[in-house]
Structure 1
Amino acid sequence: MTTVLMIIRTWRGWTRASDAEAYEAYLMRTGFAEYTATPGNRGAYFTRREAGDRTEFFLISLWESWEAVEAFAGTPVSTAVFYPEDDDYLVDKELTVDHYEVFART
C-alpha cells in the first residue's frame, strides 16, 4: 500500500491584466493568510503569469492530510474556496480544485 506523504491542492483563476496587482494583494490578505494559518498546512505557492490581456493565477498548497484539507476547504474538498471580493477581480475561475497525493519526494 502506498504511503501518502502529503496532499497537493491546486486552483486557477484569471483576472484582467490591469487588475493583477490588486488581486495579488487581495490574495495575500485572504487566501494566503487563511491557507498558512490552517493547522496541517505545509506551505503554499501563489503564482501568476501574463496571458495576453489576462493574468492567470495558479495556487498550489501543501497539506499534511485529507483532514487538514477538509479543515481548510470544508466538504466536499473538491469545491474551490472563494472570498467576498473575488468576483470583483476574477473574469474566469475554476469552481473545483485538483488534489494530488504525494507518494515520493527528495
Structure 2
Amino acid sequence: MIARIWEGKTKIEHLKEYEEFMKVRALPDYSNTSGFVKLLFLKNTDQQFAYFKLITIWENLEVIKNFAGEDYEIAKYYPEDKNYLIDFPEKVNHFEIFAD
C-alpha cells in the first residue's frame, strides 16, 4: 500500500468552510476511486491560519494514477480551492506502507 500526503494552508476565518468543502466535494472523489483504501484529514491552527495534512491510503501507484493522473506526484486541486487555500504546493509525497 502507498500513502499519498498533501499539505495545505488557509486563513483561519475559512477553516469551517474549507472543512465542509472537503467533506462534500473532495472526500467523495477519493472514495469513488477504485483502489482507494482510506484517508486521514488532519488540521492544526494558530491565530491566523489553519494547516492541513491529507493522508490518503491506496492499494498501489497504479490506482493513484487513476485518481491523480499519469504524473501522480503533482498535487490535485479543485477549482473551488482558490476560494480557500493560500498557496498551492505543486508536489505531494508518497510513502510505501510497510507496517500497519
Normalising by the smaller structure, the TM-score range is over 0.9
Q: Does 1:30 align with 2:29?
A: no
How many aligned positions are there? 100
Task: Write the mapping of 1:32-47 to structure 2, written as runs, cut at 5 A.
Answer: 32-47=27-42
Q: 1:103: which partner in 2?
A: 98
Which protein is richer in strand relative to its size?
Answer: 1
Query: What code does the residue aligned with 2:94 have?
Result: H
Identity in percent = 34
Task: Write the mapping of 1:77-88 to structure 2, written as runs, cut at 5 A.
Answer: 77-88=72-83
Cα drift, residue 84 of structure 1? 1.1
Unmatched tracts of structure 2, length 5 or more? none
After the TM superposition, list the runs of 4 or more consecutive aligned residues in structure 1 that deviate by more than 2 angstroms.
Answer: none
Cα drift, residue 104 of structure 1? 2.7
| TM-score normalized with structure 1 length | 0.89
Larger Rg: 1
- For residue 62 of structure 1, the aligned residue among 57, 65, 69 is 57
Partners in 1 of 2:28 and 2:91 — Cα distance?
A: 20
